[in-house]
Structure 1
Amino acid sequence: MPRITTRPLTPAIGALVENVDLAGPLDEEQFADIQAALLKHQVIFFENQRLTPVQHRDFAARFGALHTHPLYPGVPEAPELFTLDNHQANPTDNDSWHTDVTFIETPPKAAILHAHLLPAFGGDTIWSNMKAAFEALSPSFRDYLTTLDAVHDFARGFPASGVVAGNAGAEAHARAVAANPPVTHPVVRTHPETGEDGLFVNYTFTDRIVGLTRKESDAILGMLFEHIQKPEFLVRWRWSENAIAFWDNRVTQHYAVNDYLPARRVMVRATILGDRPYHRSRRGAEALAAE
């Protein structure tokens, strides 16, 4: 099989991966090349990938167990996937910076999004590199942030009044809230594969920093939520039909640009489960001994 090639899109984040057909069987070398590209570039893109939902699911499952979303509608042929179908009658409400599903104990390590139907223009997605954002802070502030934990709350990201909750119905939303109580994660996360540190708070799900007053917490989080949007940390992807984005959820945030209504945009996503976030300076001796 041809060797995969990778073309960086910005100095900080993002690369286009070429010479691979994700619908076909991948050999071990191709699989390793994709994994390496993901770790190096945080988000990687593939164009002209005609995958069925089952092929999409099976490709994602090579990287780990898949998460099933409690509210978004699944795909009949592959219920582990879910559909984002936005149009005038169903506007998006995920146009805010976020890291996916940080409201669970083991947030996803990655996600794979496939473009099925696109508007004539608009509907781009932007990703931000949390390692670069963290390293751009002053050393003393970085040291302080590594001592902090923050609460991530499903109900903050999916309020009862939101579009997604409304589509799912009040009973399904109530069950999802009950099944996903608030969880605590470190403000700075050590990547379990690269060993590098990155910010791990996001506007959509991070509600407050533990141990601070609400005013103190809001001030720090507000500064960080603004900081991660600096252009130096970003890549903006203009979608084409059948393109795929594959991002490392442990070290990125993303934003779906909501500029295309009343046109329709249909995307299908697989979400790959990860492990419990930690910072190396506060990791338990038992976990370290197990390495």
Structure 2
Amino acid sequence: MEFVSTTAASNAPRSYSRIRVRPLTGAIGAEIFHVDLRRLDDLAFAELRQAATDHLVLFFRDQQLDLDEYQAFAARWGSFGSDPFVATMDDHPHVIRVLKEADEKHPLVFGGAWHSDWTFLPTPPSWTLLYARDVPDYGGDTLFANTYLAWEWFSDTFRALLEPLVAVHSPQRAYGADARHNDLLENMKILYGEKAHLSGRHPLVRTHPESGRRALFVNPGYTTGIEGMRPDEAQSLLSYLFQVMTHPAFQCRFRWEPGSIAMWDNRCTLHNPVSDYLGKRRELYRITIAGEAPYLTAAA
């Protein structure tokens, strides 16, 4: 593949009165300082919303929230989403406990591939939040990729080819009745096959409802084909798109600490948890926020 790049302007920060923003890379992600997520007034939250639109993934350090406070912060971003294949906590039905114990025998991690969350649903999640309770002293990072930049990197001719395409998304490979690889997740309750017949058909390119920008909306985890194409044709095109979407020039990498919170916009990002901490404990809490049906508007 030819040389791929972006510029620092792609992730440049604004000046704010209530928060401080430090971008992680030139492509995506920003750490947010001077905030206690338990005590956010409306102005500080409005600044967070703008920063989220600009940087796509926000990272907070040293937060001391209990799960009720964590849910309350998440609810400010919208209605809670559904999680069709993973059991939530009995006492917090919108929270998934993402746990890998130190004595587990296999390196497989939950969600361990590039993906955007639950894209097979008719209305995939807008935001996902992840709150770290206990993490390794090293290892267990999460990668994020900016799918606006991948779309914008392509030539006008190639974008015109992609615009009318509709992608097919399915949970079958990851959560169907035969997807027994998840048995290796010893401390996660996977709900096999219950809704594995679900499939979604969404524009391969979507318009973000808040920014108005276009982003590629396919991912290796759940995208299985393209309407009107033979399987080999679709896989050849998708493989190329995935290669560009996950290029290092469009990524950032987040190192977790206890009390860290990451939140990402599933409509314009991919993420991938790194499996490099077998023998160490990692415990986080995940919440998804409901989204809207993907759509593509005509170019201005």
Quick one: distance in 1 between partners of 2:172 and 2:152? 30
C-alpha spacing 1:212/1:92, structure 2 compared with 1 (3 Å)? same
Quick one: distance in 2 between partners of 1:95 and 1:165? 12
Pairwise CA distance, 1:195? 0.7
Aligned position for 1:12: 27
Quick one: distance in 2 between partners of 1:236 and 1:246? 13
Aligned position for 2:133: 116
Residues 9-88 of structure 1 aligned to structure 2 (within 5 Å): 9-24=24-39, 26-87=40-101, 88=104
Quick one: distance in 2 between partners of 1:147 and 1:30? 39
Cα RMSD of the aligned pairs, angstroms, is 1.8
SS of 2:283's equivalent in the other structure is strand
Aligned position for 1:174: 193
SS of 2:94's equivalent in the other structure is strand
Aligned position for 1:243: 260
Quick one: distance in 1 between partners of 2:86 and 2:38? 24
Q: Which amino acid aligns with 1:20?
A: V
Matched, 1:254 2:264: no
Aligned position for 2:9: none
Contact in 2 for aligned 1:68/1:81 (Cα 8 Å)? no
Q: Which amino acid aligns with 2:213?
A: E
SS of 2:99's equivalent in the other structure is strand
Quick one: distance in 2 between partners of 1:117 and 1:164? 23
Percent identity of equivalent pairs: 38
Contact in 2 for aligned 1:93/1:162 (Cα 8 Å)? no
Contact in 1 for aligned 2:170/2:196 (Cα 8 Å)? no
Q: Which amino acid aligns with 1:271?
A: T
Q: Which amino acid aligns with 1:51?
A: L
C-alpha spacing 1:143/1:165, structure 2 compared with 1 (3 Å)? farther
Quick one: distance in 1 between partners of 2:226 and 2:195? 23
Aligned position for 1:286: none
Quick one: distance in 2 between partners of 1:100 and 1:28? 28
Report Cα offsets for 1:5-62 as digits up to 9, x if no partner.
11111111111111110123x2110110110000000001000011111111111111
Aligned position for 2:143: 126
Pairwise CA distance, 1:155? 1.4
SS of 1:78's equivalent in the other structure is coil
* Count of aligned positions: 276
Report Cα offsets for 1:70-113 as digits up to 9, x if no partner.
23232233210101102324741422100011110111111111
Q: Which amino acid aligns with 1:145?
A: L
SS of 2:224's equivalent in the other structure is strand
SS of 2:284's equivalent in the other structure is strand
Report Cα offsets for 1:171-208 as digits up to 9, x if no partner.
x4232324xx1110111111011110010000000000
TM-score, normalized by length of structure 2?
A: 0.87
Q: Which amino acid aligns with 1:68?
A: S
Quick one: distance in 2 between partners of 1:183 and 1:162? 23
Q: Which amino acid aligns with 2:41?
A: D
Q: Which has the higher strand share?
A: 1
Quick one: distance in 2 between partners of 1:214 and 1:53? 44
Contact in 2 for aligned 1:158/1:165 (Cα 8 Å)? no
SS of 2:71's equivalent in the other structure is helix
The more displaced of 135-144 and 86-95 is 86-95
Pairwise CA distance, 1:165? 9.4
Gaps of 5+ in 2: 1-16
Contact in 1 for aligned 2:81/2:291 (Cα 8 Å)? no
Pairwise CA distance, 1:67? 1.6
After TM superposition, the runs of 4+ consecutive aligned structure 1 residues lying more than 6 A away are none
Pairwise CA distance, 1:281? 2.8
SS of 1:45's equivalent in the other structure is strand
Contact in 1 for aligned 2:27/2:250 (Cα 8 Å)? yes
Q: Which amino acid aligns with 1:200?
A: F
Pairwise CA distance, 1:117? 0.9
Aligned position for 2:224: 207
